[in-house]
Amino acid sequence: MTLRNLFYFFCLLSAIPAQAQKFPEHREKVANNDGPALLVNLSGGMQLPGGDMADRFGATGSFGGGVEWVTANNFFFGVDGQYMFGADVREDPVAILRTPEGDIIGNNQLLADLSLRARGFSIGGSIGKLFPVGGRRSGIRITLGAGMLRHWIRVQDEANTIVQVTGDYEKGYDRLTGGLALSQFIGWQHLGPDRRSNWFIGLDLSQGFTNTLRSWDVSEMRKLDQSRTDLRFGIRLGWTLPFYQKPANQIYY
């Protein structure tokens, strides 16, 4: 190639607009978590009881999930369900079956292995708002909800030796309770700009306005007809899988 041809070649290159190039290890991703999205949540938490709930149960755990729609301006609309469980039961629905020493004799004439467990669930709808702090989709999350609460005492006869609590007879001892429940959540929501880091954590509060759902309690020899206020407060941690309603932004190299 002659010197003249080389000169023309470099002139041609100089006429093409230069673009900065980035190697893969320095690639820059544009935030792509804007716009409306469908959020699938999985969460777990620990709660302490209050009100009438504190007379029946101690601390409980819970896990569950839900689906939410978040708008482009960060309003939430969703449904959620949680399952409640615990081992601290403070009422004794089988007191009528116990001996003066506190034991229960099974139908095999041996001491029965019986335990009491806290069980329950809640389900309902919610609305809320995300107030961003330093990021498009990271900040203070406040949510209000309403739905249904149910809880009961699981009478667990390990060896099935107590005929009085088997089958439908257990309904006379489980103190099934239910009613309207309100809930509130305040905490931190993070929806990562790369769509990979999505989670929330915060304070979880609920108030249940409940009544017994059984017509007869065997140990009390009556229907437990008083109205109850079942309170719970604790902490909840959740993981979110988002489905954004727009194409992902391009990755530039």
Q: What's the pLDDT score for residue 10? A: 42
pLDDT at 4: 57
pLDDT per position as a tens digit, 141-197: 999 999 999 999 999 998 888 999 988 999 999 999 999 999 999 999 999 988 789
Q: pLDDT-derived band of residue 33, with 50, 70 and 90 as boundaries?
A: confident
CATH code at 21-244 = 2.40.160.20
pTM given for the model:
0.83
pLDDT of residue 28: 41
Residue 56: which H helix or E strand, with range? helix 53-56
Number of H helices, E strands in the chain: 2, 8
Do residues 120 and 150 touch, judged by C-beta distance below 8 A?
yes
Question: What is the predicted pLDDT for the residue at 125?
Answer: 98
pLDDT of 1 reads 52
- Which pLDDT tens digit goes with each residue over 198-252? 999 999 999 999 999 999 999 999 999 999 999 999 999 999 999 998 754 543 3
Q: Which of 190, 208, 202 is nearest to 235 (CA)?
A: 202
